[in-house]
Structure 1
Amino acid sequence: MRAYYAKGLPEKGERRLAIFLLVGVALCWAVLDQGVKHWAETTLTLRDPVPVVGETLQWYLVYNSGAAFSILSDKTWVFTVLAAVVIGVILWHIPKINSLRWAAAIGLMLGGTLGNLYDRLFRAPGFAVGHVVDMISTPWLVPAVYNVADIGLVGAVIVMIILTLLNVRAERKKPKEGRSAAAETVRDA
């Protein structure tokens, strides 16, 4: 992408590409998450471990009403509201993003949030208090059961931390008076 900056790809074009990437990653990740959850519910037996790679990786179907480690399992509605707020904040900021790296990371976060929000809204025991389908167990790594949406959320946070440490910005700063746009471009790819 640096070559585009040097040639002066219009800011609108950068934003369009970043938005397309973000939305594409989000939709693909949410669909993948729901597909794996559907497979787990139709194939696995509740709380019956199925070794994939010995005890290193197992399929283990559970329904989680709380967050990680079933935290606040009696307050499911809190996570529904929190997920809706996260989605709202992401949607509000999408038009400002022109970094492909940030777009991919935010797309993962949006996709993971959408996947788990779908469960909270439309799965038993009812609207806005549904339980999230978890099916991946790696007891040696994390003593919890998680899903594809959770992998996207954790991956997004890790990438965002790295991008922040590398000082990669999510959006281009507007040029200061007297300076060219090329002099003010941020690092991106």
Structure 2
Amino acid sequence: MTEQPDPAVGEPVRRPRTRLLLSLAAAVLLVDLVTKLVVVATIEPGEDIRVLGGALYLTHLRNTGAAFSFAEGFTIVFTLVALAVVVVIVRTARRLFSTGWAVTLGLVLGGAVGNLVDRVFRDPGFLRGGVVDFLSAFGPDGEMWPVFNVADSAIVCGGILGAVLALRGIDFDGSRAGADPAGSTGRGSRPVTMGE
């Protein structure tokens, strides 16, 4: 995305990365929903299909816990947490100028909404639905690693990327905390490049 110069001051006007965040979230949600629909339609619950020489198994499980089947039985709590995450990310989007944070929050938002759709619309009922998990790494039925789905993967990847950005001191507005004000944008920190 190119920056347009501000005619009043002659400096580039930065545009929020809201479109990137929402586009990535929509892509994650679409892939998550399509893969879950295919699994529900083609794989019987408990069935294991060996792929990639056993590095991955496709299965069909219902998870009432968090990502990777953590804390099963707290479905309503995780539903409310997912709703809160969605609200916070949407509110943050207006002040988001960092490409890295847009990718991070897009992954988390898409994953949170993907699993939230299952919790709202799947059996056994509203806010208590079981999330469709279908990927089992290095063994069937989660023997080596808990069974997961596309949404779980997006949430975890977004969390890791967010931790890296935070450790590097990159803020949502694209500035770097504690940087030399000499190259600043008026906030006491330097502007971060597109890759950050």
In structure 1, the residue corresponding to 2:193 is in which secondary structure? Answer: coil
Q: What TM-score, normalized to structure 2?
A: 0.82
CA shift, 1:187, in A, is 1.2
CA shift, 1:78, in A, is 0.6
2:134/2:149 contact within 8 Å kept: yes
The aligned residue for residue 116 of structure 1 is 115
CA shift, 1:77, in A, is 0.5
The aligned residue for residue 181 of structure 1 is 185
Q: What TM-score, normalized to structure 1?
A: 0.85
Inter-partner Cα distance in structure 2 for 1:75 and 1:167: 34
1:124/1:130 contact within 8 Å kept: yes
Two-structure CA RMSD over aligned residues (Å): 2.7
In structure 2, the residue corresponding to 1:72 is in which secondary structure? Answer: coil
Change (3 A) 1:49 1:154: same
Inter-partner Cα distance in structure 2 for 1:42 and 1:186: 49
Question: When you count helix as a share of all residues, which structure comes out higher?
Answer: 1
CA shift, 1:67, in A, is 1.8
Confirm whether residue 39 of structure 1 aligns to residue 38 of structure 2: yes
Change (3 A) 1:76 1:185: same
The aligned residue for residue 22 of structure 2 is 23
The aligned residue for residue 74 of structure 1 is 73
In structure 2, the residue corresponding to 1:107 is in which secondary structure? Answer: helix
CA shift, 1:180, in A, is 6.7
For 1:41-75, what per-residue CA distance to the aligned partner results, in whole angstroms no more than 9, with x for missing partners? 11111111100113211101100111245343222
In structure 2, the residue corresponding to 1:38 is in which secondary structure? Answer: helix
Change (3 A) 1:137 1:180: closer
For 1:8-59, what per-residue CA distance to the aligned partner results, in whole angstroms no more than 9, with x for missing partners? 3313xx21xx100000000110111000000111111111110011321110
The aligned residue for residue 173 of structure 2 is 171
In structure 2, the residue corresponding to 1:109 is in which secondary structure? Answer: helix
For 1:70-121, what per-residue CA distance to the aligned partner results, in whole angstroms no more than 9, with x for missing partners? 3432221111101001111111111010111110111000000000000000
**Runs of 5+ consecutive residues of structure 2 not aligned to the other structure:** 176-182
CA shift, 1:181, in A, is 2.9
Inter-partner Cα distance in structure 2 for 1:68 and 1:21: 24
1:44/1:60 contact within 8 Å kept: yes
2:135/2:149 contact within 8 Å kept: yes
The letter for the 2-side match of 1:58 is Y
Instruction: Determine what percentage of the aligned residue pairs are the same residue.
Output: 32
2:98/2:172 contact within 8 Å kept: yes
**Runs of 5+ consecutive residues of structure 1 not aligned to the other structure:** 174-178
The aligned residue for residue 176 of structure 1 is none
In structure 2, the residue corresponding to 1:145 is in which secondary structure? Answer: coil
Inter-partner Cα distance in structure 1 for 2:79 and 2:127: 6
Change (3 A) 1:181 1:123: same
The letter for the 2-side match of 1:30 is L
CA shift, 1:184, in A, is 4.3
Of 137, 144, 147 in structure 1, the residue corresponding to residue 146 of structure 2 is: 144
Count of aligned pairs between the two proteins = 181
Confirm whether residue 159 of structure 1 aligns to residue 141 of structure 2: no
